[in-house]
Amino acid sequence: MKGYLHLQSGDVYEGNWNTNVSTQHIEGEVVFYTGMTGYQEVLTDPSYKDQIIVFTYPLIGNYGINEEDFESKKPHVAGVIVYEANAEASHYQAEYSLKEYLEKWGIPLLSHIDTRAIVKKIRAHGSMPARISTSDEKSTIGKRTLETDKVPYVSEKLIKTYGQGNPHIVLLDFGTKNSILASLLARNCQVTVVPYNTSFQVIAAIAPDGVLFSNGPGDPKQLQPLLPTIRQLVEHFPTLGICLGHQLVALALGGDTKKLLFGHRGANHPIKDQKINKVFMSSQNHSYVVDEESIKGTGLVGRFFHLHDRSVEGLTHKELPLQTVQFHPEANPGPSEGDYIFDEFLQTITENKRSAALYA
């Protein structure tokens, strides 16, 4: 059966409707991902909530879907577009084919579609609302999918604690990936995951050694009511912010954010750490960035920068024990060269404890 991608710009692309799902059309923001592998992690990353993902690598699905690499309990994408979808899974860990997994969750898959043309259109005109449909009939596509706050739909609803180690970290869940939790547990931390809108009083009662603001979907400015709480936490605890968490910390301390034309989504983005004068490759997934001009006078200092467009990729603070990164130090998918960020966070916590003991 034929399937069609309709862009808000009026362009229509024809392909094959590959999944047997009840949905005849879905809407979402169309974006593209440039990694050669990692489609399972992308599908289950809550930051992709309600987005239509165009995979630029021409063959997707060849190693199937396993039970080990999920970043959350279910896929969050609205739809998937590939040039060729491999129907057979050639890997010893595979439990499903890509098609079977998407059918299980009712997610449409379009294949044999001109993904290069779609990506060129997005690069020229930006990410935009789009529709996947079984009909080639044009119709108006609104901005509703971009304006909805998606964090409440992907955040944990209950407070949960993992691990028995030390230090004790509170992880505010704006749509966190399992790999972030796993990175902390691998470093012998005790981690308490709390909903995104947990109050300062509740977190202070937990008495953590540090706080981590996670990744998540959407425009950080949709979470304006949370900024006073975020500022309080930053001022009271050693803090690490990742992706959306990085943006929220910047907003809470007086900075501003802006939307990129088509965002950064892939596993090969070069980052420079100006503190140690080192360049490394990173995994990325975001549409919004911190405006470098806006952080002047806030105490925030740019430390990491993207070498393609010099966008801000991470911040420190002149006085507070704070660090943020726009990229994903836990990778999955992607290179793990940036995972020393977790070690620096834990070192900051140790130093903060020593200072507190010294002045006690």
Residues with catalytic function: 243, 328, 330
Ranges of H-type helices in 107-192: 115-125, 144-147, 151-154, 178-185
Length of the chain: 360
CB-based contact 56:122 (threshold 8 Å): no
Q: CA-CA-CA-CA torsion for 82, 146, 284, 25, nearest 10 degrees?
A: -20
- Cα 283 to Cα 180: distance, rounded to the nearest angstrom: 13
Beta partners for residue 2, in sequence order:
16
DSSP-based three-state secondary structure for 76: coil
DSSP category for residue 69: -
DSSP-based three-state secondary structure for 235: helix
Contacts of 251 (CB under 8 A, 6+ apart): 220, 221, 224, 227, 230, 257
- Cα 86 to Cα 66: distance, rounded to the nearest angstrom: 15
Q: In this structure, what token pair is assigned to residue 50?
A: 């309600």
* 84 phi/psi in degrees, rounded to 5: -135, 130
- Cα 275 to Cα 347: distance, rounded to the nearest angstrom: 16
DSSP category for residue 64: -
